């Protein structure tokens, strides 16, 4: 039997390659006589499975130890393959350890017979174009497409020799591990820059140190001399003496927004990428799966909405009535694209008198986002305009301090964006290798199999 996408390998029904499937469809704590708790055993849901990883950045929930025992009579084990069964269908991850974990609804945990099916290989098969098509073909549903266990066990899995499976899994996993390493390093670099920003401009640590007759920690004498040694009252509370409160407009703020071609972008599958609010997730973070495109002709006619290096991107409208959730990002140095546009839901912010790194971190402040949220929900259609953004109050410490902050933090931002570009290239490499390795089109060298 051959694989539907034309693999060189024989295929085997999944049910012959696995020990079991844990399926908790319809199981909830209330049906088990309890509820979620603030601490205890973590509960993993479909929303936590993203881009091949378990990501805990949304809705952390727990259950008690007693509830865990009722909920999980069969415990998860390291290298169980997690698969979202619906909304969305087909996201995968590996269970990272034998630590207690609760499997929630809309998730399968598949335990491979490891002597004949390598879990890492199987995970990548499920994420390959061929694997995604097989899942989709066996899915059903009137409003939300999902796959039932009875259909899942019937899917045909390309089945090369186990050593081939292990090498394929290692190749693809090594690429993903490098991507994850880049992400972690980028987060560390951003945390360092944010820590400096908060210390200088929010907590005023250098000023407080000088007020106490001490030398600011980790700061050379020339930089320390730029900071005052006293505080004064202001509309924002206590601030360093001499620092002014001004608006973004006072720093020559330029605001641009993009546009959408007549008839929208539906059906346009190539051309120039158009960045929408749904793709903006932070500094050097971009959701590529949501990329849309505009034609070359439309792009050439645009006189605004073309990002430049280190533009601050701000989601400006949308959401439910009475709700507005601004999101901030920064791209540059060819990331995410050598050229692109933004659509009508995104502002590009430039304030050269202020410095792009400072402006990025200032706009990211929770108090700044609160200002934008409050202004956004007052509109008939939730969102903010240029006046709302330009009148954001900014504590201005003086050009010399801002220049010093840029000097210190720009290298971090540049490296973050360089790492993001590298990860993009690695993602393209992985996505190119994935179907070819899974199908057997790209053969594994004998020396790799022997090692």
Rounded CA gap, 239 and 371, in Å? 19
> What is the pLDDT, as a whole number, of residue 225?
96
Q: At a CB cut-off of 8 Å and minimum separation 6, what does 246 contact?
A: 393, 394, 396
Q: At a CB cut-off of 8 Å and minimum separation 6, what does 400 contact?
A: 226
pLDDT tens, per residue, the chain with 451 residues: 334 445 679 999 999 999 999 998 778 888 888 899 999 999 999 999 988 999 887 778 999 999 999 999 999 999 999 999 998 899 999 999 999 999 998 899 999 999 999 999 999 999 999 999 999 999 988 778 899 999 999 999 999 999 999 999 999 999 999 999 999 999 999 999 999 999 999 999 999 999 999 999 989 999 999 999 999 998 888 999 999 999 999 999 999 999 888 878 776 778 999 998 888 888 998 888 778 899 999 999 999 999 999 999 999 987 777 788 888 999 988 888 889 999 999 999 999 889 999 999 999 999 999 999 999 988 778 999 999 999 999 999 999 999 999 999 999 999 999 999 999 999 999 999 999 999 889 888 888 887 6
Note whether 325 and 361 are within 8 A (CB): no
DSSP 80-133: PEEEEEBSSEEEEEE--SSS--EE-TTEEEEEE-TTTS-HHHHHHHHHSHHHHH
> pTM higher than 0.75, yes or no?
yes
Q: Which of 59, 56, 136, 122 is nearest to 94 (CA)?
A: 122
Q: Identify the CATH number of the domain defined by range 186-414.
A: 3.90.220.20
Strands 328-330 and 312-315: antiparallel
Strands 41-44 and 18-23: unpaired
Fold classification of 11-158 (topology level): Adenine-n6-DNA-methyltransferase TaqI; Chain A, domain 2 (3.90.220)
Rounded CA gap, 125 and 123, in Å? 5
**Tokens coding 449:** 């199999």
Note whether 7 and 130 are within 8 A (CB): yes
Rounded CA gap, 394 and 245, in Å? 5
Locate the domains of the chain by residue range: 11-158, 186-414
- Common-topology check for domains 11-158 and 186-414: yes
Q: Which of 119, 109, 116 is nearest to 152 (CA)?
A: 109
> What is the pLDDT, as a whole number, of residue 2?
39
Q: At a CB cut-off of 8 Å and minimum separation 6, what does 113 contact?
A: 17, 18, 19
Rounded CA gap, 235 and 421, in Å? 41
Strands 272-275 and 341-342: parallel
């Amino acid at each position: 039997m051959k694989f539907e996408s034309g693999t060189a390998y024989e295929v085997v029904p999944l049910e012959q390659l696995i020990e079991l499937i844990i399926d908790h469809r319809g199981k909830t704590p209330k049906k088990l006589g309890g509820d979620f708790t603030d601490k205890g055993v973590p509960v993993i849901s479909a929303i936590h499975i993203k881009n091949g990883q378990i990501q805990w950045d949304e809705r952390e929930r727990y259950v008690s130890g007693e509830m865990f025992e009722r909920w999980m009579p069969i415990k998860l084990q390291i290298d169980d393959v997690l698969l979202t069964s619906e909304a969305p269908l087909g996201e995968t991850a590996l269970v990272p350890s034998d630590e207690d974990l609760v499997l929630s609804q809309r998730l399968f945990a598949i335990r491979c017979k490891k002597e004949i099916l390598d879990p890492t290989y199987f995970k990548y098969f499920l994420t390959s174009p061929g694997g995604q098509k097989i899942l989709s073909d066996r899915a059903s549903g009137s409003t939300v497409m999902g796959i039932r266990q009875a259909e899942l066990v019937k899917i045909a899995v390309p089945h090369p020799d186990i050593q081939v499976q292990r090498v394929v899994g290692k190749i693809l996993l090594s690429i993903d591990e490098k991507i994850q390493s880049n992400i972690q390093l980028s987060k560390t670099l951003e945390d360092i820059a944010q820590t400096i920003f908060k210390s200088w401009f929010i907590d005023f640590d250098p000023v407080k140190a000088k007020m106490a007759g001490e030398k600011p920690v980790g700061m050379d004498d020339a930089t320390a001399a730029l900071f005052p040694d006293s505080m004064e009252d202001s509309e924002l509370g206590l601030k360093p003496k001499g620092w002014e409160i001004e608006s973004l407009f006072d720093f020559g703020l330029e605001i641009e927004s993009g546009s959408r071609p007549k008839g929208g972008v539906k059906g346009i599958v190539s051309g120039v990428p158009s960045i929408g609010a749904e793709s903006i997730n932070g500094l050097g973070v971009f959701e590529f799966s949501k990329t849309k495109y505009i034609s070359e002709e439309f792009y050439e006619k645009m006189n605004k909405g073309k990002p430049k290096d280190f533009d601050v991107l701000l989601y400006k409208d949308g959401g439910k009535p009475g709700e507005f959730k601004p999101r901030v990002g920064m791209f540059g140095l060819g990331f995410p694209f050598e050229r692109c546009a933004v659509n009508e839901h995104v502002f590009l912010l430039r304030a050269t008198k202020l410095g792009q790194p400072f402006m990025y971190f200032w706009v990211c402040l929770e108090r700044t986002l609160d200002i934008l949220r409050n202004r956004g929900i007052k509109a008939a259609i939730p969102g903010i305009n240029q006046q709302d953004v330009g009148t954001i109050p900014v504590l201005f410490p003086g050009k010399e301090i801002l220049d010093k902050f840029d000097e210190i933090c720009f290298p971090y931002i540049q490296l973050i964006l360089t790492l993001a570009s590298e990860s993009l290239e690695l993602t393209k490499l992985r996505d190119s290798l994935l179907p070819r390795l899974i199908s057997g089109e790209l053969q594994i060298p004998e020396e790799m199999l022997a090692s």
